[in-house]
Amino acid sequence: MDKKQEAVKEGKMDKVINLCLRRGILFPSNEIYGSTSGFFDYGPVGVELKKNLEKSWWKYIVNDRENVVGIDGALINVSKVWKASGHVDSFNDPLVECKKCHLRFRADSLIEEELKISMDGVGVKQLQELIDKHKIKCPKCGGEFTEVQVFNLMFKTHVGAIEDEASLMYLRPETAQLIFTDFKRVLATSRKKLPFGIAQIGKAFRNEISPRNFVFRSREFNQMELEFFINPEKMNDVEIKKDDLNLESFFYTQEMQENNKNHERMNFEKALKEGIIGTKWHAYWMIEFFKWFKSIGIKTENMRFRQHVKTELSHYSSETWDLDYNYPWGWKEMEGIANRTDYDLKQHSKFSGVDLSFFDEKEKKKIVPFVIEPSTGVERTILTVLIDAYTERDDERIFLDLNPIIAPVKLAVLPLMPKEELEKKALEVFNGLKKEVVCDYDANGSIGKRYSRFDEIGTPFAITIDYQTIEDDTVTLRYRNDMNQERVKISDLKAKLSELM
């Protein structure tokens, strides 16, 4: 990418943030008191977008499948959960502090920004060597840094009247562990057999050293996670449709990264045949999510699968693929799809003393299942959708090219002018449609300004009520992207919109 393209991409992020603030999508929390970075609130438009996105995920992963069920677990958990999971000991990020102004930075992000190279999988020792070699100083005051240390990202709290070791609890840094701790009860009550999954959408909290890129890395965010449990001997026992195997994406393997090669385009059939993806179940879920992101409107050419290099793998994972997006600041993780093996269930069995194996009736033996975990951040997905959908035309018109499935408002109902007879008719049309489709009514300001407002929040369709409507019961239906208009009878609107949607 040349410098001009880079500038355009960087500008896009500012424009998306500006749009979020201007249109009440997402904005810093506690704004009137001066916010703390990493915490955000959704406004009226954003909350609809969030609900649509979560609904689409839940339907695709839970409601449309006979082998996945859902839970909604507590946010604050006993410390043993996080001791068992390994988070208390190893959920750390590398930290440096400026000796002069005492600002703290995440060492890998700092080096990435200074040297414009990826720090994926680079350990503390190498980070220190890079800081020393390139004489990296504090970007704020030019001061020297302390040695790289590790910083635990868990938020602690005490529950009850006494603050001691026994009352120590943690805010969950991922939703996944609740699925493991609930495994036995869900298994007993849902009567599922392997392979099956448990899904959850909910809050996660991480005391990030340097939250950045708007909601991309925040301290309080939502995750959509699936833990899919499989007999370890049957990790390849799944039929993948031919059409799905033929799907193509960019793949960036361990080997390509280690040898400084570029990512390559290939189909999933090749990736499986050549052993690039370790197991068929892993490939199955990579494909399912590739299709889901596509279904919510993300362009496939902006996605790639990047394999974690060995030094980067989490303590629980035998193989992880990030589904990356080409953000204005480079390719970064949008979703992680990990093979967590039997690590978590075994750890929780050990720490709780409760047997978390599955009894296989057919084979008459206990099995501790392996787990494939696709894990996605809600806010990160929303940011990705907004960046991908943000469109500026030559005439300086701005619109969000959102898929109607996730558009916060599907239809704008607009009287052409603020005249009583037009408003009355428009409200009549609005009331007739509001139960069928999420619509909004707006009679304030010029029609051009109202179209712009709805274009900017990605409303795919608008209908305008004018004097002709009073005469012949027809309205103008306007399409967001090309601004084409057609005349439609009010009585045909429901059918027309359901066809379009």
Strands 92-97 and 149-152: antiparallel
Q: Which is nearer to ligand GAP, 377 or 408 (CB)?
A: 377
Q: Which of residues 326-355 bind ligand GAP (CB under 6 A)?
A: 333-336
Q: Which is nearer to ligand GAP, 377 or 415 (CB)?
A: 377
Q: Min. distance of Cβ 322 from ligand GAP in angstroms?
A: 7
32 forms bridges with which residues in the sheet? none
Which residue stretch of 27-35, 374-382, 403-411, 464-472 sits at the interface with ligand GAP (rule: CB under 6 A)? 374-382
Give yes or no for a contact between 71 and 182, defined as CB atoms under 8 angstroms apart: yes
Binding of residue 50 to ligand GAP (CB under 6 A): no
Q: Which is nearer to ligand GAP, 373 or 442 (CB)?
A: 373
Q: Min. distance of Cβ 206 from ligand GAP in angstroms?
A: 5
| From 50, 217, 306, 410, residue interacting with ligand GAP (rule: CB under 6 A) | 217
Q: Which is nearer to ligand GAP, 62 or 501 (CB)?
A: 62
Give yes or no for a contact between 406 and 446, defined as CB atoms under 8 angstroms apart: no
> Which residues lie below 8 Å from residue 393, measured CB to CB, with a gap of 6+?
399
Binding of residue 455 to ligand GAP (CB under 6 A): no
Give yes or no for a contact between 313 and 320, defined as CB atoms under 8 angstroms apart: yes
Q: Min. distance of Cβ 225 from ligand GAP in angstroms?
A: 6
Which residue stretch of 216-224, 264-272, 419-427, 447-455 sits at the interface with ligand GAP (rule: CB under 6 A)? 216-224
171 forms bridges with which residues in the sheet? 76, 155
Of 286, 268, 289, 376, nearest to 339 by C-alpha is: 286
Q: Min. distance of Cβ 285 from ligand GAP in angstroms?
A: 13
Distance in angstroms between the alpha carbons of the first and the last residue of the chain: 36
Residue with tokens 């350990």: 123
How many residues of this chain bind ligand GAP (CB under 6 A)? Answer: 19
Question: Closest-CB residue for ligand GAP?
Answer: 377
Q: What are phi and psi of 280, to 5 degrees?
A: -70, -35
Q: Which is nearer to ligand GAP, 218 or 459 (CB)?
A: 218
| From 108, 120, 208, 388, residue interacting with ligand GAP (rule: CB under 6 A) | 208
DSSP symbols for 260-298: TPPPEEEEHHHHHHTTSSS-HHHHHHHHHHHHHHHHTT-
Q: Min. distance of Cβ 124 from ligand GAP in angstroms?
A: 18
Binding of residue 176 to ligand GAP (CB under 6 A): yes
DSSP symbols for 232-264: GGGTT-----HHHHT-EEEEE-HHHHHTTPPPE
DSSP letter at 161? Answer: S
Q: Which is nearer to ligand GAP, 184 or 340 (CB)?
A: 340
Binding of residue 206 to ligand GAP (CB under 6 A): yes
Q: Max alpha carbon distance in the chain (Å)? A: 78
Q: Min. distance of Cβ 29 from ligand GAP in angstroms?
A: 14
Q: Which is nearer to ligand GAP, 323 or 457 (CB)?
A: 323
Q: Which is nearer to ligand GAP, 322 or 440 (CB)?
A: 322
Residue type, 50: K
DSSP letter at 23? Answer: T
Q: Which is nearer to ligand GAP, 220 or 466 (CB)?
A: 220
Binding of residue 200 to ligand GAP (CB under 6 A): no
Binding of residue 319 to ligand GAP (CB under 6 A): no
| From 181, 223, 307, 349, residue interacting with ligand GAP (rule: CB under 6 A) | 223
**Exposure letters 168-178 (e unless 16+ CB within 10 A, then b):** ebbbbbbbbbb
DSSP letter at 146? Answer: P
SS3 state of residue 235: coil
DSSP letter at 205? Answer: E
| From 40, 180, 196, 221, residue interacting with ligand GAP (rule: CB under 6 A) | 221
| From 48, 379, 388, 442, residue interacting with ligand GAP (rule: CB under 6 A) | 379
Strands 92-97 and 390-392: unpaired
The token pair at 10 is 């960087």
| From 380, 410, 450, 453, residue interacting with ligand GAP (rule: CB under 6 A) | 380
Which residue stretch of 95-103, 121-129, 217-225, 349-357 sits at the interface with ligand GAP (rule: CB under 6 A)? 217-225
> Which residues lie below 8 Å from residue 67, measured CB to CB, with a gap of 6+?
192, 195, 196, 197
Binding of residue 174 to ligand GAP (CB under 6 A): yes
Whole-number Å distance between alpha carbons of 439 and 459: 9
| From 377, 415, 458, 460, residue interacting with ligand GAP (rule: CB under 6 A) | 377
Strands 411-415 and 461-465: parallel
Q: Min. distance of Cβ 376 from ligand GAP in angstroms?
A: 5
Q: Min. distance of Cβ 208 from ligand GAP in angstroms?
A: 5
Write out the residues near ligand GAP by the rule CB under 6 A.
174, 176, 206, 208, 217-218, 221, 223, 225, 333-336, 373, 375-377, 379-380
